Amino acid sequence: MPDYIYLRSLWWEEGNIHPDAKWEEAILPYVLVEGVTIEEFELHTDMFNVHGLWEWTNNKVLIYELPESPHESCIYAITSEIIEQCIPVKRTDAGIINLGATRTRADGCGKEPDASFRPSKPRVQTPNGSDGKNFPWPNLVIEVAYFESIAHVLNKVKNYWLKDLSRVHDAIVVKIDPISENEIPSRMQAWHFCASDRRTRKGDLPARTHFEFGTHDQFGNVLNSTPGTCIIRIELDCLYHQVYSGTQIPRGILPDPIELNFSYVRDEILLAHA
């Protein structure tokens, strides 16, 4: 066994991302370990605080993403925007709960988003819950792809998170093109998907919004985004989907729709790499 294979295994065994494991050379998805139960997977993700990076399928732990700075700073920036928008309903019956990278079980898989949100919701009928039992699903999930491929993250959103209206209602996806050491992220794309837009139960789910919000496009051309072009709008009916009966959707308190300006998200990412 090459040394780097053993050193990579330490992420599973000890939670140690060893500096000599050559993760920058790994081809993702990478099989970290096989013959693992879903319970063992969840135990290790909790023990080592590895959330949104590993997935469990067919008793294998697969790595689709690495904890690089652009990935982490983007999650923080988007999460901060959502929390700030929802401050007026904080500590009320209509408050929005930040669930973070809450773990889920469905379709024989174990997945965690990079971030997730919902209001207080009633439990659902077993086994339709996000825990494979009766725990309610988030209403909004955030997925940030850095090393992860666009094809994989979009498939995960369309066919897992937003599989139908009994699961997640809206998803925001960001893809940041990987950079070399000491470079600054330049190409960034964002998508917004809403389960209400699925054309048929088993049909395609088109993106409600897709735009570039980085400093350059895929050809290296400078992007000069005009105000209002890098906005994702989350309707309150979506954010409060399946809320407790009797809970008033806070129209007039929160804007409808809530607008998330990705120019601010880009600026936060760039500042983190200045």
Residue 44 to residue 10: CA distance in whole angstroms:
12
Asked whether 174 and 269 are in contact (CB, 8 A), the reply is: no
Residue 29: asked if its preceding bond is cis (omega within 30°), the reply is yes
Above 90 in pLDDT, residue 261?
Answer: yes
pLDDT digits (tens, 9 = 90+) for 212-246: 999 999 999 999 877 788 999 999 999 999 999 99
Task: Give the model's confidence band at 193: pLDDT under 50 very low, under 70 low, under 90 confident, else very high.
Answer: very high
Asked whether 61 and 161 are in contact (CB, 8 A), the reply is: no
C-beta neighbour count of 9 within 10 angstroms = 16
| pLDDT at residue 83, as a whole number | 97
User: Dihedral (C-alpha) 23, 25, 30, 32: value to the nearest 10 degrees?
Assistant: -40
| pLDDT at residue 181, as a whole number | 84
Above 80 in pLDDT, residue 90?
Answer: yes
Tell me which CATH code domain 67-272 carries: 3.90.1570
Average pLDDT over residues 61-68: 95
**Tokens standing for 102?**
């809450």
Task: Give the model's confidence band at 201: pLDDT under 50 very low, under 70 low, under 90 confident, else very high.
Answer: low
Full-model pTM: 0.94
- Cβ neighbourhood burial of 25 (10 Å; 0-12, 13-18, 19+): exposed
Average pLDDT over residues 170-184: 94
Which residue ranges make up each domain of the chain? 1-64, 67-272
Average pLDDT over residues 54-71: 95
Above 90 in pLDDT, residue 131?
Answer: yes
Average pLDDT over residues 66-94: 96
pLDDT digits (tens, 9 = 90+) for 1-28: 679 999 999 999 999 999 999 998 999 9
Percent of the chain with pLDDT over 90: 90
Task: Give the model's confidence band at 264: pLDDT under 50 very low, under 70 low, under 90 confident, else very high.
Answer: very high
| pLDDT at residue 199, as a whole number | 75
| pLDDT at residue 198, as a whole number | 87
- Name which of 172-186, 195-209, 235-249 the model is least confident about: 195-209
Average pLDDT over residues 61-65: 96
Which residue blocks in the chain are alpha helix, DSSP H?
A: 3-13, 38-47, 69-85, 150-156, 236-239, 262-272
pLDDT digits (tens, 9 = 90+) for 98-129: 999 999 999 999 999 999 999 999 999 999 99
